[in-house]
Amino acid sequence: MTGEQGFVWRIRVYFEDTDSAGVVYHANYLKFMERARTEWLRMLGVGQGELSDTEGVQFVVREARLRLRQPARYDDELEIVSRMVLLRPMRMRFAQQVRCRGVLLVEGDVDVVCVDKMTFKPVGIPDKISTILRQQLSGDLLEDW
C-alpha cells in the first residue's frame, strides 16, 4: 500500500527473527527493510530478477544506517514504511521506518546503487526504470550526485 507516508509493507515477527529474549535481532531489521524496498519496486512494475535478466543491472546496498528506538518482539505485526527521498543517476536513498501499532521502533536510511551484474561497478539506472522512479519524487530531489 502506498500513501502520503510512503509504501507500507507488513510482516509478522517469527521466532527465527528473535534472540533468546524474544526480541528482534538488530540485523533482521535490515532484512525487513530490504523486503519492503523489493516489494515497493515490484508494486511499481520493476521486478529485480527481470531487471537483472533484461537490463544486466542490479540494485545493491551501498550504505545503511539504523537508529533503534524500541524493540519489536515475537509475534508483533510490523509495518515497514519506505520512502525514496533521493534519486540520482546511479543511486537512490530510502528513508525507512519500522512501526508496531503506530509506535516508531526503528528508523533507517539506506543508500542503494545500480551496478552492472557482471562487474559490480556502478552504472546508470536504466532510463525506463529511472522514469518510473522519478514519478515517485518531487523535482527538487533529482539533482546529479
The domain ranges of the chain are 2-137
Residues in CB range of 58: below 8 A, 6 or more apart: 48, 51, 52, 114, 115, 117
Which residues are the active-site residues? 19
Q: What is the pLDDT of residues 41-61, one digit of tens each?
A: 999 999 988 899 999 999 999
CATH code for the part of the protein at 2-137: 3.10.129.10
Edge-first strand listing for the sheet containing 6-12: 2-3, 6-12, 77-87, 91-100, 103-116, 57-68
Confidence of residue 84 (pLDDT cuts 50, 70, 90): very high
User: Is 41:52 a contact under the CB 8 Å cutoff?
Assistant: no
Q: Is 70 exceeded by the pLDDT of residue 99?
A: yes
* Count of C-beta atoms within a 10 Å radius of residue 24: 25
Q: The whole model's pTM is what? A: 0.88
